[in-house]
Amino acid sequence: MIQIHRFVTPKTTRFAQIGELSEETTEIIIALHGYGQLASEFAQSFLPLASPNRVIICPEALSRFYTNHRARVSGATWMTSEDREFEIMDYVTYLDGLTEEILEDAPENIRVVVLGFSQGCHTASRWVGNGTFSPDRLILWGADPAHDLSQEEWDALADVKEITLVAGSEDEYLPADRLIKAEEALRDHQCTFNTVRYEGKHEMVRDVLKGLWV
C-alpha cells in the first residue's frame, strides 16, 4: 500500500528589487509575475516606475521548470492543480514572510501596492485573502480574482481600499465576457474597484502601467 506524506523543508527563494528603502520611501510595489516568467525579466516592465521614493519588489514563484528544454530556458509557476491546497499555503507563507521582512525596514505609514499579472492575479487574490496584511491597493492585470475564493477571502479583498482590473482589448486570457463576470463578482462582494481598458494583448504595456500612477 502506498501512503503519501508531507514534509516541510526550508527553501531558498529569490526576488528582484528596483530602488532602495530609505526615509524618503513612500511606496512599495509588490509585483507577482505570470506563468513561466522569472522575477528578473518581469522586473524589467517596472523600470518606468522607478523613483527615489518608490521600491518595487518582484518575488519569484517557488517552482521552476524549463519552458524550452532544448535552449534550457527556465520559467516559474506559482502553483499547479497537484496538491494545490499546500501549494497555496506555501506561497502565502512565502509572500507573508518576505513582505514582513521588507516592511521591518520601511518607514511607518508606507503605502503598499500589490500587483498581479496573469497567473499572478490568482496568486495575489489568494494571498490578500489569506495573508497577514491588507495592501492599500490591489491591481489585477490580465486575469480575474481566483475563481474559488471563500467568503472569508472575499471579505479580505473587500477591505482593500482600491482594486483595479486591467484588461487589453485583445487579451485572450481575459476576454470581455470574463471581465464582466470579474466585475460582477467584485461588485457582489462589496469591493471598491475600477476597470482600466487598453488597446492591446496579454502583456504589460509601459504607458498603461505608468498611467495607473497618474
pLDDT tens figures, 97-126: 999 999 998 998 999 999 999 999 999 999
Q: What is the pLDDT of residue 65?
A: 83
pLDDT in tens, 62-84: 999 898 888 788 999 999 989 99
Mean pLDDT, the chain, rounded, equals 95
Q: In 3-state terms, the chain is what percent helix, strand and coil (to 5)?
A: 35, 25, 40
Bridge partners, 137 (sequence order): 113, 162
pLDDT bracket for residue 195 (50, 70, 90): very high
Structure confidence at residue 104 (pLDDT): 93
Q: Could you give the CA distance from residue 131 to residue 124 in angstroms, rounded to a whole number?
A: 10
Closest residue by Cα to residue 116 from 91, 89, 143: 143
Mean pLDDT on 135-151: 96
* Helical ranges in the chain per DSSP H: 39-43, 84-104, 119-130, 151-158, 176-188, 206-211
CATH number for the 24-211 domain, one of 3.40.50.1820, 3.30.310.50, 3.30.1360.10, 3.20.20.370? 3.40.50.1820
3-class state of residue 78 by DSSP: coil
